[in-house]
Amino acid sequence: MTTQRTHIMVCGGTGCVSADSLEIVEKFKGALSDAGYSDEVGVIKTGCFGFCGQGPIVKIHPDNVFYVKVSPDDVAEIVGEHIIKGRTVQRLLYQEPETQKKLPKHDEMSFYKKQYRIALRNCGLINPEDINEYIAFNGYEALGKALTEYTPDKVIEIMKASGLRGRGGGGFSTGLKWELTRKTVSDQKYVICNADEGDPGAFMDRSILEGDPHSVLEAMALAGYAIGAQEGIIYIRAEYPLAIKRLEVAIAQAREYGLLGKQIFETNFSFDIKIKLGAGAFVCGEETALIHSVEGNRGEPTKKPPYPAVEGYNRKPTVVNNVETLANVAPIILKGAEWFSSIGTEKSKGTKVFALAGKVNNVGLVEVPMGTTLREIIYDIGGGIIGGKKFKAVQTGGPSGGVITTLDLDTPIDYESLRAIGSMMGSGGMIVMDEDDCMVNIAKFYLEFTQDESCGKCTPCRLGTKRMFEILDKITKGEGTMDDITKLRTLGKTVKESALCGLGQTAPNPILSTLEYFYDEYLAHIQDKRCPAGACKALAKYKIIEEKCIGCTACARVCPVSCISGAPKQKHVIDEEKCIACGACYTACKFQAVLRP
Amino acid sequence: MSDIFSLEHADEKLKVLDAFIKEQNAEEEALISILHKAQELFGYLPSELQLYVSRKLNIPAAKVYGVVSFYSYFSQEKRGKYTINVCMGTACFVKGVEKVMHEFSDQLGVKPGGSTSDGLFTLKDVRCIGACGLAPVVMINDKVFGHVTTHDVARLISDYRAQEGSDS
């Protein structure tokens, strides 16, 4: 192997791939070979850098220069200037919006400064399709250490002491889950990785699987060793083709290296992993539903107990862990429980990956210690609201969570604090909303989702979510009554208390939380028949564009409620209070002067 | 009843499917994987194909239908050559993907879930595809397009139409 002086890392995550990053890789290879530098300079396709809003991203090592929004046409310049002449291409550097300063190094950017990466440690750093690179960064060392130095009980003890809790949303202690499964006596046990990331707005699991698949495989083997399982299953969404492909490559390489299969590290421990595809059902993120789906059935949840730790896949004890949870396991085994539990808050240890999206400047994946405040995430890391607009709320926990307003911007985030303010951690989706977003409409959006994804097995969820959606729909159309608010509250409470699984139990959260924090918006829709954010179409009014109106009076003549005033050859005005939004004026105007809502 | 087995290359496709089922040891547990394969080969899962799978696995057709109708990834309707998946995730929603959906719907003349009469396009809403950084997102078959606005819609459609023209 030749020693290369420089590595060009090109992001190969879904976001950047969709912006032609694979073509960039090919162009680099071509340009380097034309210039005769193929031996000295390597081109590596990495996992996601996390800064998706700035993609495609190209990073040059060891110069530590971070280029953003690179297009295939920029390749020749990077090779000619940077690689050959050693001059940084200024125009492709990231420019910080507040200071207007160009920053070549990623660790100087406020997006990265406050981050602390454990689960995402290798994303953007290694080639996910090459096991050697994972091994070079201490990969499979934790597995080797556990198999040769630790008993399974010791592994569980470390996990428990670390304080790691399930990152899929539940927040149950991972070590305890493993211990319960270990204690159940059975001839066969299973480890299942839940990669059915269905929460709209969350994509950390996909990025980990695409950027660092081996970290998940290693953790599954560790879990297998701890609980006494020989078989692991990754249940992954069929909508993630790239992640599936990288996992297949990773599993094949791990088998080839003897890191999966029989007698790993020459011990008596054998473990292998297979992939099972989901088929598009949000409820399958619930562990009992997931297990039924793995078994080839409709993914309907069943009552707990029995918990999967006692009776899971094939009626055998099964551990179900989420992708991000697993990505934390190997570092904990290597660096120790004390190190991990020194990060975070009293009850929530370690870090959490959030998918920052919506109306925020820096969109992407961020990993921060538990206890970081929302203000730090949205303003310091996220760079504030797009277009300098006013922050309104952030939705966490997806369809199961609630909104957080300016009141709680300075609350340190962990499992408990989020629950206390009526939201939840969920899988870590964080959708930032500004003054243009209508909160009633957002609640309606989530209920439309849950009523559609409800599996229909239990009545509270099947009918309750449907009725709540219908009431919200009515309100957004200006047909709501005050009685509807009472109905929403009682119905929400009933569904919360009586639904079979987590999907139903949490489905009313978006309504209850918006009712709590944005009651005035509900009132505006019901009493004033007005949408303060101007997002609800049915409540939006027609307007006349002054510059285009020539005063022909055509609109005023057709208006059935005579709400348009204005003398001939003068600008006309619509009285929004009287307008019934029939659209007659829009059709009548020959000068496109009427603006349709 | 559509006659999916009389289509061109149907025999070869069935052979591939048979081999795949055999590889799975015809286990009932593999039903979802087998349906994925069948849909990949034939494009959709009409009732006779569901019946075929149920007989091969020796399980009730009702069970196969139960699974097919439960999961949104499986389609019982014939789909266009290109499926336009418009992401309806939250990030795309707050960035105004609804307008993009309307534009596609207007320009193609089909409602979400429908296919164009020339068999070229199917318009679908899809659950979050996890490319929230690029919102609003549209996925045409396996290719992801980010930051799509209503102005891009006409170009996307004509690009795919042109591709079709040059293929045939």
Of A53, A201, A455, Cβ closest to residue B90: A201
Query: Which amino acid type is present at position A572?
Result: H
Search chain B and give the residue with CA nearest A202.
B130
Residue labelled with tokens 């125009």: A91
pLDDT exceeding 70 applies to what percent of chain A?
99
- The answer to whether position B107 is within a domain reads yes
Tell me what the mean pLDDT of segment A551-564 comes to.
90
Residue B93 shares a structural domain with residue B154: yes
Residue B65 shares a structural domain with residue B86: no
A65-98 pLDDT tens trace:
999 999 999 999 999 999 999 999 999 999 988 7
Q: Could you tell me if A148 and A265 are in contact, meaning their C-beta atoms sit under 8 angstroms apart?
A: yes
Contacts of A352 (CB under 8 A, 6+ apart): A167, A367, A368, A370, A413, A425, A428
**CA–CA distance, A269 with A290 (Å, rounded to integer):** 27
Of B70, B96, B128, the residue at which a domain comes to its end is: B70
Q: Is A298 on the interface with B (CB under 8 A)?
A: yes
Tell me what the mean pLDDT of segment A393-397 comes to.
93
DSSP symbol at A77 = H
Residue B109 shares a structural domain with residue B153: yes
**pLDDT score at B168:** 52
For chain A, the straight-line distance linking the first and the last C-alpha, in angstroms and rounded, comes to 64
- The answer to whether position B76 is within a domain reads no
Cross-chain Cβ contact A297/B93 below 8 Å: no
> What is the three-class DSSP state of A271?
strand
Q: Identify all chain A residues contacting B130, using CB atoms and an 8 Å cutoff.
A: 14, 197, 202-203, 206, 239-240
**CA–CA distance, A593 with A591 (Å, rounded to integer):** 5
Tell me what the mean pLDDT of segment A201-229 comes to.
96
- Torsion angle, alpha carbons of B145, B148, B154, B160, to 10: 0
Search chain A and give the residue with CA nearest B65.
A298
A281-298 pLDDT tens trace:
999 999 999 999 999 999
Cross-chain Cβ contact A239/B31 below 8 Å: no
Q: Environment class of residue B137 by beta-carbon count within 10 Å: exposed (0-12), middle (13-18) or buried (19+)?
A: buried
Beta bridge partners of A356: A364, A430
A219-251 pLDDT tens trace:
999 999 999 999 999 999 988 888 999 999 999
Residue B61 shares a structural domain with residue B115: no
Q: What angle, 0 to 180 degrees and rounded to 10, lies between the N-to-C axes of helices B47-57 and B61-70?
A: 120
Residue B90 shares a structural domain with residue B144: yes
Of B70, B95, B112, the residue at which a domain comes to its end is: B70
Residue A368 has pLDDT above 60, yes or no: yes
Give the number of other Cβ atoms within 10 Å of residue A429's Cβ. Answer: 30
Q: Is A199 on the interface with B (CB under 8 A)?
A: yes
Q: Identify all chain A residues contacting B83, using CB atoms and an 8 Å cutoff.
A: none
**CA–CA distance, A143 with A334 (Å, rounded to integer):** 9
Residue B102 shares a structural domain with residue B39: no
Q: Got the DSSP string for A177-206?
A: HHHHHHHS--S--EEEEEE---STT--HHH
* Mean of the per-residue pLDDT values of chain B: 90
Both tokens of A9, joined, read: 């890392």
Q: Is A323 on the interface with B (CB under 8 A)?
A: no
- Opening angle at CA B114, ends B113 and B117, nearest 5: 160
Give the number of other Cβ atoms within 10 Å of residue A96's Cβ. Answer: 16
Tell me what the mean pLDDT of segment A561-579 comes to.
87
* Mean of the per-residue pLDDT values of chain A: 93
- The answer to whether position B77 is within a domain reads no
**pLDDT score at A19:** 83
Q: Name the strand (E) or helix (H) holding B35.
A: helix B31-42
Q: Is A332 on the interface with B (CB under 8 A)?
A: no
Both tokens of A48, joined, read: 């996601």
Search chain B and give the residue with CA nearest A435.
B94
**pLDDT score at A528:** 87
Residue B47 shares a structural domain with residue B120: no
A528–chain B nearest CA distance, Å: 24
Banded pLDDT at A2 (limits 50, 70, 90): low
**pLDDT score at A15:** 84
Q: Which residues of chain B have pLDDT under 70?
A: 1-2, 167-168
Residue B51 shares a structural domain with residue B92: no
Give the number of other Cβ atoms within 10 Å of residue A6's Cβ. Answer: 16
**CA–CA distance, B41 with B7 (Å, rounded to integer):** 12
| Gyration radius (Cα) of chain A, Å | 27
**pLDDT score at B1:** 47
Cross-chain Cβ contact B146/A18 below 8 Å: yes
Cα B152 to chain centroid distance, Å, stands at 22
CB under 8 A, 24+ apart: contacts of B17-23: B17/B41, B18/B56, B21/B53, B21/B56, B21/B57
**pLDDT score at A541:** 74
pLDDT exceeding 90 applies to what percent of chain A?
80
- Per the structure, the complete domain to which residue B155 belongs is given by 82-167
Residue B93 shares a structural domain with residue B157: yes
Residue labelled with tokens 């953790």: A219
Q: If interface means Cβ-Cβ distance under 8 Å, which residues of chain B face chain A?
A: 27-33, 35-36, 63, 66-67, 70-74, 88-91, 93-95, 126-135, 137, 142-146
Residue A197 has pLDDT above 60, yes or no: yes
> What ipTM was estimated for this complex?
0.90
Cross-chain Cβ contact A15/B129 below 8 Å: no
Q: What angle, 0 to 180 degrees and rounded to 10, lies between the N-to-C axes of helices A482-498 and A509-517?
A: 140
**CA–CA distance, A228 with A230 (Å, rounded to integer):** 7
**Which domains occur in chain A, in start order?**
6-107 (3.40.30.10), 131-340 (3.40.50.11540), 351-434 (3.10.20.600), 439-527 (1.20.1440.230), 541-597 (3.30.70.20)
Residue A381 has pLDDT above 60, yes or no: yes
Residue A459 has pLDDT above 80, yes or no: yes
**pLDDT score at A3:** 79
Residue B48 shares a structural domain with residue B122: no
CATH number at B146 reads: 3.40.30.10
Cross-chain Cβ contact B33/A277 below 8 Å: yes
Q: Residues 229..268 of A with a Cβ closer than 8 Å to B: which?
A: 238-241
Both tokens of A584, joined, read: 């007659």
A42-68 pLDDT tens trace:
999 999 999 988 989 999 999 999 999
- The answer to whether position B75 is within a domain reads no
- The answer to whether position B62 is within a domain reads yes
A347-365 pLDDT tens trace:
999 999 999 999 999 999 9
**CA–CA distance, A592 with A473 (Å, rounded to integer):** 30
| The 3-state secondary structure of A455-491, one letter per residue | CCCCHHHHHHHHHHHHHHHHHHCCCCCHHHHHHHHHH
Q: Identify all chain B residues contacting A446, using CB atoms and an 8 Å cutoff.
A: 90
- The answer to whether position B136 is within a domain reads yes
**pLDDT score at A1:** 46
In degrees and rounded to multiples of 5, residue A363 shows phi and psi of -90, 140
A527–chain B nearest CA distance, Å: 25
Number of domains in chain B: 2
Of B31, B47, B70, the residue at which a domain comes to its end is: B70
- The answer to whether position B143 is within a domain reads yes
Tell me what the mean pLDDT of segment A535-555 comes to.
86
- The answer to whether position B63 is within a domain reads yes
Residue B109 shares a structural domain with residue B154: yes
Residue B87 shares a structural domain with residue B161: yes
Q: Identify all chain A residues contacting B73, using CB atoms and an 8 Å cutoff.
A: 238-239, 278-280
Cross-chain Cβ contact B90/A357 below 8 Å: yes
Interface contacts (A, B; CB < 8 Å): 136
